[in-house]
Structure 1
């Protein structure tokens, strides 16, 4: 039987780098199938946090620069500020956050698949302390070898169980033939 073997373009035993993980997550924008390594998940989470932090910093800078927070005049009366510019920047923040939501959801589901769990476990984050449970699941190591969601993305553990041979007869012969 001729088996088709997956061609690997890189050594999958080495964790993904930052830029590679971001590229993979953006390429698999709404791909909820398969598995994601820990490095892919955590580098994406870092990248998402940095992008949101940068957009939020711009939002604060524009809000302060335009006086959108308002001010207090000499008599102690509060005045409203110009909120149109900060409203637009806030809208940009919302659009960026919304645009990052789907790839984040997809990589989290693939990460859950890597630990042998269904993506529906994501909903546990809606329960009190469920976010902690989801965090523990995302920190856990991959299930070795292939599981119901696909092959191990690390490329390890794809071997037959102990005592069994991946293909063909035992290379040492049949034990019963010796006696």
Structure 2
């Protein structure tokens, strides 16, 4: 049976699922069978057992791992979510997650450039090691940024291929405008709305 997690209390280890026929089922941490922690808004598949939900799994049919509701997503939650979903190019991400990660990327670039300019004046092998480390850090941030950009486009109802416009000089502006659009509240081929 399919449903949506209405809420989960980490301290008590108990939560509630609403199935597609608007019937509520309680579940506990012992009934949760997925590696990701239960969170509000996740689509799940479960076995009803009276008023309890047993063998609860994330519904992987939609390829989405929703995060916290939009009002509850902090800067650190958004950045963690982006790193956790670094290779997920199929799901959807809300505006807050995208823009928080964009700010995080800018801050990282500033810090890396300040550190490398300090070490450049020192010279030696440390500069080479720092350069290599900075390159791999930048490469990882690029992949994470690319994946959250694709998911953000999916959330607005557009194909992730639009992200290729980033690599053109004039295409950056239309893509940034697309990133500002609100969530498409319809279910699309990339899953349920991110908020």
**Is TM (by shorter chain) over 0.5?**
yes
1:108 equivalent among 144, 149, 170:
149
Q: CA RMSD in A?
A: 1.7
Number of corresponding residues: 136
Distance 2:142 2:70 in 1: 28
TM-score in terms of structure 2 length: 0.64
Aligned: 1:36 with 2:93? yes
2:77 is matched with 20
RCO higher in structure (CA 8 A, sep ≥6): 1
Which structure shows the higher strand fraction?
Answer: 2
2:119 equivalent among 39, 52, 62:
62
2:36 is matched with none
Superposed CA deviations along residues 27-75 of structure 1, whole A, max 9, x for unmatched, are 10100011100000011111122122212211011112x1x4xxxxxxx
TM-score in terms of structure 1 length: 0.70
4+ residue runs over 4 A deviation: none
Q: Give structure 1 stretches of 5+ with no counterpart.
A: 69-81, 155-179
**Preserved contact between residue 56 and residue 93 of structure 1 (Cα < 8 Å):** no
2:134 is matched with 93
Aligned: 1:7 with 2:5? yes
Q: Give structure 2 stretches of 5+ with no counterpart.
A: 7-38, 41-67
Radius of gyration: which is bigger?
1
2:165 is matched with 124
Q: CA 1:128 to 1:54, structure 2 compared with 1: closer, same or farther past 3 Å?
A: closer
